[in-house]
Amino acid sequence: MEAALDATVASHAPSIETRQTIVLSVPSIVCGNCIRSVENTLRALRGVEAARANLSTKRVSVVVDPSLSSAVDLTTALERAGFPAALLADGVETEQTARASELIPRVGVAGFAAANIMLLSVSVWSGQASDMDSSVKDLFHWLSALIALPAVAYAGQPFFKSALAALKSRRLNMDVPISLGVLLATGMSLFQTMRSSEQIYFDAAVTLLFFLLIGRALDERMRTKARGAAENLIGLRAINATLVERNQTTKVVPASSLKPGMVIAVAAGERIAGDGEVISGRSEIDESLISGETRPRAVSIGDCVYAGTVNGGAALNVRITASEDNTLLSEIGRMMLAAEQSRGRYVRLADRASQIYAPAVHILGLLTFIGWMAIGAPWDQSLTHAIAVLIITCPCALALAVPAVQVAAMSRLFNRGVIVKAPDGLERLAEINCVVFDKTGTLTTGELRLKAGDDVDTVALGRAGSIAGVSKHPYAKALARAARAQGIRTYAVEGVEEIPGSGLIATSAGIEEKVGSAAWAGVEDGCASIWYAVEGKPAVGFDFIDEPRKDAAACVSELQHAGYLVRLLSGDRRETVAQTAAACGIEGWAAEVRPDQKLQAIEALKAQGYKALMVGDGLNDAPALAAGHASLSPASAIDIAQNAADAVFQGELLRPVIETLALAKAARRLALQNFAIAILYNSVFVPLAMMGYVTPLIAALAMSSSSIIVTANALRLRSMRLHLPQVGTSA
């Protein structure tokens, strides 16, 4: 079991520094087969450890060893495989807009051609009723051909290029049957024109292309709206920075050129260009972008500031401490992108289904043509029915069913201060029926205050605060903060070791000093929150007050009302834990619990059939967080990258826990709805097309509509009113 636990914890560890994540934009990804081809192409390259493509965002995230592969190697390999790619950079929105804008003139040409050919066709149809001369009819047909052929050649390029690239690399994508359908309809019409036939389909071929382009343009628009939070972050970076030279002159430089040690000037109202330390000035910083906290944070000399945040007060000078790729904003963006690119159970299911779709489409089209010919239908009628089948059997709706929901969910959670880090975190959060809370910093604010009126031993407080300075545990930080508040100077202590669940130990000149729980300090029945003990002297206790979060009781009540089992597990003293449990309305609680005992408690709940959400300190409760079915952790922005939880939430309230659970269930519901829409669409329209009840025009409308409906349904997640459903339901 310990080996399994170690493996689980390791899976949450930060990636090795020698690895690099490269994100590529691949606009030609149009279906599940494209995803498989792109990923297989990249994984075959030397130095590539992982590759994940997302159909909804048309992005590929690649983990590489930079000493073996570069972005140029990746884009070159994809280009050879028929997938033009570009490194994702600051021009994301421009690139997406350009791709959508490129379709507009093609839509216009197809619409103009379709309208004019339709006028000629109406003239032919009306002329047939009044015995139009055959030479006039042939002239109108040839005029239709002169309009249709260049229009199809130009307007159909997005489909033709994609299909040709796929065929060159010996694969199929959804644009192959579409291109085949358009070319067959056009070719059949040209052949009939050359034979002076009565039945010409130029109007149908060009109108078909017109509807397909409208559908593709609307689909691009919908996907742009569904763009993930990771991409939104890129747009919030400062483009330029004001660099302060050594002679105190300033000049404007690209933010990407900033290096550690450089000094920049940040004017009031300006977005900060990089992570750094304030070296002059006092101001207030709007950090809502990365913390979800709407109140500005006061900063002065020595305080840290982060890229993407806004200076809301006076001018500051900031010394840069990280390059652009290593800022907190970039780190959050990478984590968000990894979560958006990830594949849970539903995504893998949709991918497998869509991969077998492309060959099945061509088989169904061929069977339709053979079937109609076998029952004596004319070849042109048989071919028309086959064309309808080729166009209507679109796997795109199925492939988009889950990724579109996933991206919309991640974006909404991020806007609420929640960052999902685990690949399948949303799916597991939707299955939760039990919530286990830690106390300090989770149910409570974590803003511990030394109890007023205590006769404080300032020498012990100074030494204990110095030792505690190496730890991120709430009590350790509170101890160091209390020492500074008393005017006691703290200093760095060498050789400090942290023992999870117990405390800290420092050894100097053979003398051991301990800071931690009563048991750790060797005190029996200690009534203080934290103790300092040194060999040969009585232990000194410090008692802290930690108030529950403002909405803790309300959130616990809402969870219990919805049928969730709620438990509190804490390493604190029984008296303190009992008070917090009573204040929050939690009946089941345990105190003085070590990390290994928390793990055992989670395993016991699991054995009883509960799927527990562990909500606790991601830096101290890693074993329990890893053991839970899912895990959430409160975290300051600086701690996000090191946190072991599946997701982290920021701010002073506990409400994000409720919102995350509610949104996870809503996301699962919408994903299942999208699956149902895609399956129902194909189950109804494909048989109708094979039976001849669907024309190619209707097929084009239906195919485009299916993708748009699925994406629009996913976008509802961005604005729908959320409520926490009863356990066992998703409504």
Catalytic residue positions?
A: 438
DSSP for 325-387?
Answer: GGSHHHHHHHHHHHHHH---HHHHHHHHHHHTHHHHHHHHHHHHHHHHHHTT--HHHHHHHHH
DSSP state of 271: B
DSSP for 189-214?
Answer: HHHHHHTT-S---HHHHHHHHHHHHH
β-pairing verdict for 630-634 and 612-615? parallel
| Cα gap 599→615, rounded to integer Å | 13
Amino acid identity of residue 70, one-letter, is: S
| Cα gap 111→333, rounded to integer Å | 41
| Cα gap 275→304, rounded to integer Å | 7
Query: Could you tell me if 189 and 148 are in contact, meaning their C-beta atoms sit under 8 angstroms apart?
Result: yes
For 515, the enclosing helix (H) or strand (E) is strand 511-516
Query: Could you tell me if 333 and 652 are in contact, meaning their C-beta atoms sit under 8 angstroms apart?
Result: no
Quote the distance between the C-alpha of residue 267 and its chain's center: 32
Query: What are the CB-based long-range contacts (under 8 Å, 24+) for 63-72?
Result: 63/15, 63/19, 63/20, 63/21, 64/19, 64/20, 64/21, 64/22, 65/18, 65/19, 65/20, 66/18, 66/19, 66/20, 67/18, 69/45, 71/22, 71/24
460 φ/ψ angles, rounded to the nearest 5 degrees? -65, -40
| Cα gap 83→41, rounded to integer Å | 10
Tokens 């000093």, residue located: 513
448 φ/ψ angles, rounded to the nearest 5 degrees? -70, 135
